[in-house]
Structure formats: C-alpha cells, structure tokens
Amino acid sequence: MMFISYHTMLVSYHVMLVGYRAMFVNYHAMLVSYHVMFISYHTMIVSYHVMLVSYHAMLVSYHVMLVSYHVMFASKHQKKRNDHSNNQLILSKNLLKHPSTFSKSPITFNGFAVFVIFVSNCNFKKMKRNIVLIVIAVIINNLSYGQITDKEKDLLAKTTDTLDGWKNGGTFTFNLSQLSLSNWAAGGQNSLGFNALVNAFANLKHKNSEWDNTLDMGYGLIHQGGKSAPYQKSNDNFEFNSKYGQKASKSWYYAALLNFKTQFAPGFNYPNDSVKISDFLAPAYLIGALGMDYRPNNVFDCFIAPVTGKLIIVNNSTLANAGDFGVTPSVMDTSGKVITPGKKTKFEFGGYIRASLKKDIMKNVTLSTEADFFSNYLKNPQNIVVNWQVLISMKVNKYISATLSTQLIYDDKAKIVIDSKGDTGPRTQFKELFGVGFSYKF
C-alpha cells in the first residue's frame, strides 16, 4: 500500500514537472512574441521616419523647382527689360544725332530729361558722354513704364457701369410626347401631345433706373384615343409684365408695374366640348401698381405695392351673363330672357405683392419661380388671390432639354364644379407639366 502511494506521489511529481516545463515553454513563447512585437514596432518607427524623410525630400524638390521657375521667370523678365532699355538707348543716340526730331518724337520728356540730353551734347569726354546716354536711357525707360502704370490705374479706376443699355433674349422650347399601342393586353389608348413655350425678355438699364419687360407664352394640345377623337387643350397662357424702377437706395427702387394675363383659345370642361368655360380675353387680367421693389441681387426680386388697380375682363357674353370670374351677372326674367346683360369688366382696388427667384441650383439645372398675391380692399380683403408658378429647366445639350412646370392658383371668384349635382365654388387649382424636347436660346 505504501508502495502504491509512493508511485502515486512519483507520478504526481512528474505530472507537476511536465506542467512546469509546459509553463516554461509558454513563458518563452510569450517572450519571443514580445520580442517579435518589439521588433515590429521598431520596424514601423523606422518606416515612419523613412516616409518622413521621403516627404521632406519631396518638399525640398518642390521648393527647388519653385525657385528654378522664379529664376527662369526673373531671367526672362530681365531680358525683356534689357531689350527695352537697349531700344531706348538706341533711340536716345538717334535723337542726339538728330536733335531736330525732338518735335516729331512721340515720347514726351520732362524738364530733367531734356536737361540731361542738353548736357550730353556738350563737349565732354567720351566716357562722360556714355554715362549721360545711359542716364537718358534709364529715364526714358522709367517714363515708358510709368506711363503704362498710369494707364492701368486709370482703367481700374473707371466706375462706368458696363451693363448700361438694352439686354434682351429668350428661350423657345418644344416638347413632344407620343404613345402607340398594338394588341396590348393590358389595355390603353394611343396618344399624341405637344407643348410649346416661349420666354422672352428685354431689359434696359441706365444709370439709376431700370426697365424690365418679360413675355411668357405657352400652348399645348393632346390627342388621345382614335382618329375621330378631338384634340384637347393641355396648356394655354399669355402673360406680359413690365416694371420700371428708380433707385432709392442700395437694394430698394421706387417702382411701377404693369401686368397683363389671358389665354389664346377657348377652354372646355372635357369630355363636354360644346360649352365654353373660358375663351380669349375671357378672362383677362390687367394690373397697374405703384410701390417699392426690393432687389438685393440678381437672383431674388420682390415688388410690394400698397396701391394697385386690377381690371377683370370677360369678353364673352355667355360667360359674362353667368357672372363668371367675378363680374356682375345678367338680370333675367322668369322665362330666362336677358333683361340686363352681364358686365364684361370689373375693377378692383387693393394691395399687390410679386416675388420672383431665378437660380442655377446645379450644373445645367435652373430653377425659376414667381408668386403673385392680390387682396381687394373693396370686398373681402381676407380672400387673397394667389398665382404661383415654378419652372425647372434641365439642359441635356445645346438643343435638348427637359422642363418641369407647375402652377397653383386660388381665386375665390373662379367657379369650379365641386360635386355631381353641378354645384360650383372656389377650389385650389393645380397644374403640372413635364416634357422633354427641343430647346433654343436666343
């Protein structure tokens, strides 16, 4: 039994010895890893310093190249000055040989230069004569450089505004859309549509006054269905705007504005194309306003007019008799016969604000927006008439462009069908138009 215990203790001792040796091996392995990491760290430090030395070497090379460039530039500039001085020296010698040419020379000498030339004509020794000639050449050289500098200063000192005068131009855009279906299981209808836009301007600037004129026209048709289906109007507007301003301060102008809006062709409530809901000059809006124009830069403009006259024109008897667009309707008897025709015009007096912004939001993409607000002092001034237009132009190349335009209108005098019974009332009107096509800037 004691023998077994002895052998057990002996085995345990050997196990402990093996464990100790394993720990010793691990310790040396860790020590080796540490030295490897230490060597790697120093290697990284050495690499960093090598990179730093390379960077400084590149920096020194750059400065050497820069110094060489300046030396070459200085040498070239000095050569030009030497050539110029030699030419002036030759000219001075010619003038000394032919004093009568002074009056014909294009160079204007000051009193000191004339005195030196006079002294050089005296009978001094040859060396002194050469010294005088050199002095003359230096003076002429400095005079010529001084004259150029003075001209440059005069040019920089000019404050004449080069933008004075007329500036005009515009853009013509023609967009086309087409859809053709043949045996198409999902269904649909063939369609063909086009839209034409013209935006032109003619602006005059003279000293402290500015006169800006713009003309915006648009017309579009769409044909959907068979050959017998009629073309329907998709876009129709005509707007002329003229504004004159006299500068009052850095960003403010005393201003007067004239604005005219209408459409080209009759409009219908499709699919019913037998009854007109609008027509040429029905409606038309003429606005005359006096106020102040805020123009801090060439991007934003805001015209504020507390004194504004607005004339509403409805040049269509049927629409005028119905009292459309706010005019006074006709008076009829019980049988429906017109006793007193409806008024074709209506005058309103109120306040007017017109704000516009035009900016290149990114390369070849231009944002243009205009918003009009009018409040009639004489009736329901809280009902403000709003007309907000947005145009985004995306230019593909010189002749191809894409346009996205929207228009939001709210007018409490516009009668919109609001239910199936035919009841009408004011509603927010919204139009969106997107097209890709031909664009020409003139």
Which pLDDT value is given to residue 215?
96
Query: Distance between CA atoms of 269 and 228, rounded to whole angstroms?
Result: 19
Q: Is there a single domain that holds both residue 115 and residue 149?
A: yes
Contacts for 209 with CB less than 8 Å, ≥ 6 apart: 244, 245, 246, 247
Burial of 363: CB neighbours in 10 Å, binned 0-12, 13-18, 19+: exposed
Tell whether 213 and 96 lie within a shared domain. no
Residue type, 155: L
Whether a cis peptide bond, with omega within 30° of 0, leads into 426 is no
* Residue 234 and residue 137 share a domain: no
One-letter identity of residue 427: R
Taking 70 as the pLDDT cut, the residues of the chain under it are 1-3, 5, 7, 12, 15, 19, 22, 26, 28-29, 32-36, 40, 42-43, 46-47, 50, 53-54, 56-57, 61, 63-64, 68, 70-71, 74-75, 77-163
Report the C-alpha gap between 175 and 185 in whole angstroms: 29
Neighbours of 362 (CB within 10 A): 8
How far from each other are the two terminal CA atoms of the chain, in whole angstroms? 119
Contacts of 305 (CB under 8 A, 6+ apart): 255, 257, 289, 290, 291, 292, 351, 352, 353, 354
Residue 30 CB neighbours (<10 A): 10
pLDDT score for 157: 46
| Residues 92, 18 share a domain | yes
Domain residue limits at 136: 1-159
Same domain, 388 and 280: yes
**212 and 253 within one domain:** yes
Looking at the structure, tell me whether residues 420 and 326 fall in a common domain. Answer: yes
Number of domains in the chain: 2
Q: Residue 224: CA atoms inside 13 Å, Cβ hemisphere, count?
A: 10
Specify whether 87 is located in the same domain as 44. yes
C-alpha separations of 218 from 168, 191, 198 in Å = 19, 20, 6
Are both 211 and 151 inside the same structural domain? no
Q: Is 94 in the same domain as 175?
A: no
**Residue 305 has which token pair?**
């007019």
Rounded CA-CA distance 12/16 in Å is: 6
Same domain, residue pair 173 and 153: no
Q: Is the dihedral of CA 12, 18, 21, 26 positive or negative?
A: negative
Whichever domain contains 350, its CATH number is 2.40.230
Tens digit of each residue's pLDDT (9 = 90 or more) over 227-255: 778 889 999 999 999 999 999 999 999 99
DSSP string spanning 218-252? EEEEEEESSTTSPEEEEEEEEEEEEEEEEE-SSSE
Same domain assignment for residues 142 and 259:
no
Query: Are 312 and 321 a contacting pair, CB within 8 Å?
Result: no
The rounded distance, in Å, linking the Cα atoms of 214 and 368 is 13
| Measured distance CA(412)–CA(429) in Å, rounded | 11
What DSSP string runs through 321-337? HTTGGGPPPPEE-TTS-
